[in-house]
Amino acid sequence: MPITYGDLTPEQVQTLGHELDAIRNRVRAELGQADLDYIRTVIKAQRGLEVSGRAMLELGWLAPLWLGGTAALALSKILDNMEIGHNVMHGQYDWTNDPALNSQTFEWDTACPAEQWRHSHNYMHHTFTNILDMDRDIGYGILRMSEEQRWSPYFVGNLLYATLLMLLFEWGVAVHDLEVEELFSGSKSIADKRDMLKAIWRKGGRQALKDYVIFPALAGPGAPLTLAGNATANIIRNIWAFSIIFCGHFPDGVQEFSKAEAANETKGEWYLRQMLGSANITGGRLFHILSGNLSFQIEHHLFPDIPARRYAAISTEVREICERYGLPYNAGPLHRQLGSVFLKLARLSLPWIGNSPFNRSYRRPTRRPADVAVTVPAAATREPVAV
Amino acid sequence: MALVNMRTLNLMRSTLVGDSAEAAGGLSAPRRGAVRRLLAGPIVDLMVGPHGIDRYLELISPTLTLHEPRAQVLAVTRQTARTVTLTVDPNRAFTGFRAGQFVRVGVEIDGRRYTRTYSPTISEHDLRSWRRPPVWPRRPEDHPPLLEFTVTVREGGVVGAYLREHAAPGMLLHLSDAAGAFILPECRPDHVALISGGSGITPTIAMLRTLIAEGHRGQIDFLHYGRGAADWLYRPQVEAIAAAHPNVDARFIATREGGERFCAGTVAADAHVLVCGPPSLIDAVRAAHPEASAETFTPPTLALGAGAGAATGTVSFLASGHSAPISPGTLLEQAEAAGLTPQYGCRMGICHGCSCTKVAGTVQNILTGELSTEEDQEIQICISVPVSDVALAL
């Protein structure tokens, strides 16, 4: 049961894949000084905001400096995590051979160890995007994000958990790769996770020490205000990152897939799944930068290792391809996309929605019109999936 | 023995000069040391975590890094039509070198960093003896003895051609620590013969300058083989040294104009011979002086055990979609034969310029004999040969 949409034939899906490959190859060949200059400018801005924000917060007893410092530090952490950290760790700048931009060695200003993020995000999420029971970003193991997830009384608190996750997002991300549910189900023991726990403790500990001990201590009697400013900056970053990331795959109209659908995928089908499983957020240039260009989630999922500043230009081509193939291109402003995510969270906390013991009429959805006969291409024509 | 003492004396003198310079600088020098210690200490490391202090200092000035050796180009000269000589100001993270060693030099070209290995051409004592004065105020006499590299433009080479064309004062170079075993013996021999061919003069000129700086009293034979007079590097400098030091005998030989080839008797049999140049020159020197220490700037020839050489199968280049049956030669050569243009540097296993991810398969390092069987390993393709089917991310 290969992935398809509407009445696309497997041959059309393959052609679609070739068109997207061509875009990717063309843009990769174009990469050069301008891309490096861009990310260095962003890094410069981030470090400037960070240093000035921290300096202002040392004098946090002056209200304007507390406000300015908190805002600058929050912006610094947002830039560090989104446009710089997330994108650098995808290997978007590995071609520069600059060790400071190396995907395998980069660390970011958040509690999650980069090493674990590279596994849970770059590998798990980007490979198995929106495949139920494989992509752990669906609900992060604690939320009900899909009608096909079976309801249990625990999910009554869906909105509450989401709000808590939003406020504490950096710590949620930090423990994400641990796959805590394996501990609850007993399939793994604490001993199996010891190295990961140690790494989280080390990284999270250093982050906490920096934000909640050292910089406040330097402020002397102003310590509580510095601490409050640092905590506020972290929470602002958490809310922002959560909002952008949850708008990437959970707004209305974004599709999920089953393991069976995604089995033995061709490159074209992989592209198709990424397009159908992602949603964009519309906005201005500054908004895109602050979102790490994850507002171009569709383009990012098609080309995760192309420098994100290129997504805006690529998006016009992708839109055109979507129109030509009759594919949806899910895009909307932040308030609409985020609103639909929270509406979904609220709906799915209810026991009579979707797969639930209280909803006997529930049937797993069929994802394509039944009258379209889809022939599975011969194995020989299948291309390997680029991971 | 007298010579060794002389050298020790020189070192001691330079240390003393350094100390007195620091003392003359008043309080600033020790205070600066304290600042550096603080900046490199654990508290600051936490404060600038996770990026590290260098990521902030470099935004003030690119060479202010504490841990990453870097240099700024101060002057550019073009000694010959195919070379460019860079006089550079290294930062304090660069810890010095021994004459004859090489440094991996990184240059950014159109957003990409390329790394090549070059030998510093100054005396090893020039850099050692010098202590950086306070950052401010800078006095003219604070000017450091500078590092110097001479880069040869090679056919189809990226970096040499770029530097010859575009190197200018202010350009930033990324350095590595110095490395390499082609150095003068710790106990300087009485009679030294420094023999070079082409760009192989860069380590031997450093050795010559080092011996002169040490006041070496024994005989020094300096022999250089170049295509013709127009290609001879450092000729005026060497001849000036020879004119001022009767114990230095300098000869420049034009190989394209029927100059005499190296043979037994070209240098005295008792000389300690150091030779750097193409394999043909090294072979000729080694025929007469079997114990000569040598370094070549060209790739080593492949000497494979039956196991690795006999491998059959396919090399797949995943990113470009090419694949080819395994042929003799390194993975780099096979990639090039398949029509790819992978990045490379020294092609002899030093610089890691060609490192790429081997996605699957087993390869053997022809320099160490080491087998790499893991998936997704960074390998140096210029010194790796396939032992099984191999998939590279090229």
- Is B241 within 8 Å of B270 (Cβ atoms)? no
What pLDDT does residue B300 have? Answer: 38
Q: How far is it between the farthest Cα atoms of chain B?
A: 69
Q: Between chains, do B47 and A210 touch, taking CB under 8 Å as contact?
A: yes
Long-range contacts: A282-288, Cβ < 8 Å, 24+? A282/A331, A282/A332, A282/A333, A283/A333, A283/A334, A287/A334, A288/A312
Residue A4 lies in a domain: no
* B295 DSSP assignment: E
Q: Is A356 on the interface with B (CB under 8 A)?
A: no
Q: Report d(CA A143, CA A151) in Å as an integer.
A: 10
What pLDDT does residue A188 have? Answer: 85
Q: List all residues of chain B from 304 to 343 with a beta carbon under 8 Å from chain A.
A: 318, 343
What pLDDT does residue B127 have? Answer: 78
- Is pLDDT at B304 greater than 70 in this prediction? no
Q: Report d(CA A92, CA B30) in Å as an integer.
A: 43
SS3 (DSSP) at A355 = coil
Q: Sheet harboring B192-197: ordered strands across?
A: B248-254, B220-226, B192-197, B272-277, B293-296
Residue A321 lies in a domain: yes
CA distance B62 to chain A (A): 12
Q: List all residues of chain A from 3 to 32 with a beta carbon under 8 Å from chain B.
A: 31-32
CA distance A93 to chain B (A): 9
pLDDT level of residue B102 (50, 70, 90 thresholds): very high
Q: Is B60 on the interface with A (CB under 8 A)?
A: no
What pLDDT does residue B328 have? Answer: 87
- Is beta strand B363-365 parallel, antiparallel or unpaired with respect to B384-386? antiparallel
CA distance A237 to chain B (A): 17
**A18, A21, A33, A97: best to mutate for the B interface, most B CBs within 10 A:** A97
Residue numbers in A near B49 (CB within 8 A): 107, 206-207, 210
**What phi and psi values does residue A274 have, to the nearest 5 degrees?**
-65, -40
Q: Is B187 on the interface with A (CB under 8 A)?
A: no
- Is A158 within 8 Å of A349 (Cβ atoms)? yes
Nearest to A32 among B50, B55, B110 (CB): B110
- Is A266 within 8 Å of A13 (Cβ atoms)? yes
SS3 (DSSP) at B364 = strand
Nearest to B55 among A31, A100, A214 (CB): A100
Angle between helices A158-167 and A334-347 (to 10 degrees): 140
The model's pLDDT over B144-187, given as tens digits with 9 standing for 90+, comes to 668 999 999 988 778 999 999 999 999 999 999 998 899 999 99
Residues 6 or more apart in contact with residue A67 via CB below 8 angstroms: none
Question: CA angle, corner A62, sides to A58 and A68, nearest 5?
Answer: 70
What pLDDT does residue B135 have? Answer: 60
Q: Report d(CA B174, CA B104) in Å as an integer.
A: 8
Q: Between chains, do A97 and B56 touch, taking CB under 8 Å as contact?
A: no
Question: CA angle, corner A7, sides to A5 and A10, nearest 5?
Answer: 75
Tokens of A241: 């990152």
Q: Between chains, do B59 and A47 touch, taking CB under 8 Å as contact?
A: yes
Residue numbers in A near B106 (CB within 8 A): 97
Average pLDDT, chain B: 83
- Is pLDDT at B305 greater than 80 in this prediction? no
Residue A5 lies in a domain: no
Question: CA angle, corner B113, sides to A82 and A20, nearest 5?
Answer: 55
- Is B220 within 8 Å of B208 (Cβ atoms)? yes
- Is B140 within 8 Å of B75 (Cβ atoms)? no
The model's pLDDT over B75-97, given as tens digits with 9 standing for 90+, comes to 999 999 999 999 999 988 998 89
The model's pLDDT over B200-229, given as tens digits with 9 standing for 90+, comes to 999 999 999 999 999 999 999 999 999 999
The model's pLDDT over B11-36, given as tens digits with 9 standing for 90+, comes to 333 333 333 333 333 323 334 578 88
Q: Between chains, do A44 and B59 touch, taking CB under 8 Å as contact?
A: yes
Chains A, B: CB contacts within 8 A come to 55
Tokens of B103: 């440094």
Torsion from C-alpha of A52, A54, A58, A62, nearest 10 degrees: 60
Residue in chain B lying closest to A208 (CA): B46
Least Cα distance to B35 among B55, B17, B53 occurs for B53
Q: Specify the DSSP element, H or E, that contains B116.
A: strand B112-118
CA distance B351 to chain A (A): 13
Tally of structural domains, chain A: 1
Residue A2 lies in a domain: no
Cis peptide leading into residue B50 (ω within 30°): yes
- Is beta strand B377-380 parallel, antiparallel or unpaired with respect to B355-360? antiparallel
Q: Is B43 on the interface with A (CB under 8 A)?
A: yes
Concatenating the DSSP letter of every residue in B144-205 gives PPPEEEEEEPPTT-SHHHHHHHH--TT-EEE----B-S----SS--SSEEEEEEGGGHHHHH
Q: Between chains, do A214 and B43 touch, taking CB under 8 Å as contact?
A: yes
Residue A274: domain span: 10-381
Residue A305 lies in a domain: yes
Domains, chain B, in order of start with CATH, read 59-174 (2.40.30.10), 192-296 (3.40.50.80), 306-392 (3.10.20.30)
Q: Report d(CA B358, CA B375) in Å as an integer.
A: 7
CA dihedral over A183, A188, A190, A194, signed as positive or negative: negative
Tens place of pLDDT per residue across chain A (387 aa): 577 787 899 999 999 999 998 998 899 889 999 999 999 999 999 999 999 999 999 999 999 999 999 999 999 999 999 999 999 988 888 788 888 998 778 999 999 999 888 888 877 888 888 988 888 888 888 999 999 899 999 999 999 999 999 999 999 999 988 888 788 888 888 888 899 999 999 999 999 999 999 999 999 999 999 999 999 999 999 999 999 999 999 999 999 998 888 888 888 998 999 999 999 999 999 999 999 999 999 999 999 889 999 999 999 999 999 999 999 999 999 999 999 999 999 999 999 999 999 988 888 766 544 333 333 333 333 333 333
Residue A325 lies in a domain: yes
Q: Is A387 on the interface with B (CB under 8 A)?
A: no
Q: Report d(CA A130, CA A125) in Å as an integer.
A: 8
Residue numbers in A near B108 (CB within 8 A): 36, 98
Q: Report d(CA B287, CA B258) in Å as an integer.
A: 21
- Cα Rg for chain B, rounded, in angstroms? 23
Residue A1 lies in a domain: no
Q: Is A207 on the interface with B (CB under 8 A)?
A: yes
- Is B226 within 8 Å of B233 (Cβ atoms)? yes
Residue numbers in B near A47 (CB within 8 A): 51, 55-56, 59
- Is pLDDT at B6 greater than 50 in this prediction? no
- Angstrom CA distances, B209 to B144, B184, B216, B221, B241, stand at 17, 12, 10, 13, 9
**B65, B107, B112, B322: best to mutate for the A interface, most A CBs within 10 A:** B112
- Is B99 within 8 Å of B184 (Cβ atoms)? yes
- Cα Rg for chain A, rounded, in angstroms? 22
Residue A3 lies in a domain: no
What pLDDT does residue B350 have? Answer: 56
Matching residue, tokens 């059309």:
A12
Burial class (CB in 10 A: 0-12, 13-18, 19+), B27: exposed
What is the mean predicted confidence (pLDDT) over B114-139?
Answer: 76
Q: Report d(CA A119, CA A116) in Å as an integer.
A: 5
Residues 6 or more apart in contact with residue A382 via CB below 8 angstroms: A264, A266
What pLDDT does residue B298 have? Answer: 52
- Is B272 within 8 Å of B221 (Cβ atoms)? no
